[in-house]
Structure 1
Amino acid sequence: MKVSIKNQQRLIKVNTAKTARLLRKLLRLLRLPQTDISILFVGDRRMRLLNAGYRGVDRTTDVLSFPQYAPDELKAHLKKRSQRPVTDHRASSVNPLPLGDIVINLHKAKQQAFENNLSFEEELRRLLIHGLLHLLGYDHEQGESAARRMHRKSRDLIAQLR
C-alpha cells in the first residue's frame, strides 16, 4: 500500500505521517490494502483554480477527488484481484491498484472545523473519508438515495475509527 502526501500550502501545519496512518487504516477497513492513493493539501487559491478547471465552478471548495477508474471499472478490477489464488501475493503487492488523487483545501478545512465546532483533525478526517468515498464511486450529487448511501458509509467509517 502506498500513500503519497504533498503539502503545497504553508499557512496550516498538518501531520502528514498521522494522515498517512489514518488513510492506511481506512483502506484496511474498506478491505483495500493493496492500493495506491495520493493526497495533495492546498490553499484557497489553488483549490479555486482546480475547481474551475475540472468542474467549471469558479470558487474554492473543501475537497476534490480524481478517481483513477470509473465505478464499474474499479469494481471489475477489485473483483479480478479478489479471485486471485491466495498463493499469488506478489502480484497484488508489486502492482497495487491506484485509486486516484484527493485534493484537500486546508484553509477551508480549518474554517469548516471552526464553523462546525470540530477539531481540525476531525474535519480533516471527515474530508479524507469524503474524498476516499468519491474515489470508490460514491457520489452524493447523484440524487437523494446516493447521498444517503454515502453519508451512511461515511458515518460508519468514522464510528469504526473511534
Structure 2
Amino acid sequence: MTPSFSLHEAGGTLPEQEESLLEDWIRAVIEARGGRLGELTYIFCDDDYLHQVNVEYLQHDTLTDIITFPYAEFPLVSGDLFISTERVADNAKEYGESYTTELHRVMVHGVLHLCGQSDKSSEDAGTMRDLEAWALSLRPAALAA
C-alpha cells in the first residue's frame, strides 16, 4: 500500500496550513507511536453531515467533533477521519483555545485512535489528553502559529 494523506471538504472548512506540513506532522506522530502511514483521509464537514454519519453508521444520535473509521490494524495507520469544523469552532471557544489548535487536537485525536489509543475509561481518556498535548508539542512552528 502506498502511503497517502488527503484532505477533503464536505461542507466544512479545510485547514489553512499547507497539506504537506500537516502530513509531515501527522506522519511524525504516527512514527513516534511505532506505526507507519497507510491511507489517511480527513473529511471536513458540518454538524449535519457528521450527525448523519453518526446515526447511519454508529447508531448514535448525537453531535460529535470527530468520527474515525479504521481500515487497517496498527502498526499500519489507515482510515477515514470525519471532522465537524462547526464542533471544532464551538469547542475552541468553550476551551479558550485557538481554532487552529483545537482543529489540530481533533485531527491528532483520530490518529491516536488509529494507533490503538482508547478513551473509553477515565484513565484512558486522561492518557489520550496527555498524548494529544504531546502530539501538539511536535507541531512545526509554521503549524502552531
Give TM-score, length-normalised by structure 2. Answer: 0.81
Give how far 1:101 is off.
0.9
- Larger-gyration structure (1/2): 1
Q: Is the 8 A contact 1:5 1:16 kept in 2?
A: no
Give how far 1:33 is off.
5.2
Give how far 1:8 is off.
0.9
Counterpart in the other structure of 1:144: 122
Tell me the distance in 1 between the aligned counterparts of 2:85 and 2:60: 19
Extract unaligned runs of 5+ from structure 1: 79-96
Counterpart in the other structure of 1:22: 22
Q: Is the 8 A contact 2:30 2:115 kept in 1?
A: no
Tell me the distance in 1 between the aligned counterparts of 2:37 and 2:47: 32
Q: Is the 8 A contact 1:140 1:150 kept in 2?
A: yes
The SS at the match of 1:138 is coil
The SS at the match of 1:30 is helix
Between the two proteins, the alignment pairs up a number of residues equal to 135
Counterpart in the other structure of 1:82: none
* Higher strand residue share: 2
The percentage of counterpart residues that share the same residue type is: 22
Q: Is the 8 A contact 2:36 2:77 kept in 1?
A: no
The SS at the match of 2:62 is coil
Structure 1 residues 128, 52: closer, same or farther in 2, change over 3 A? same
Does the alignment pair 1:60 with 2:39? no
Give how far 1:137 is off.
1.6
Give TM-score, length-normalised by structure 1. Answer: 0.73
Amino acid in the other structure paired with 1:127: V
Tell me the distance in 2 between the aligned counterparts of 1:148 and 1:50: 27
- Cα deviations by residue, 1:34-58 (Å, 9 ceiling, x for unpaired): 4220000111111111111222111
- For the aligned residue pairs, the C-alpha RMSD in angstroms reads 2.1
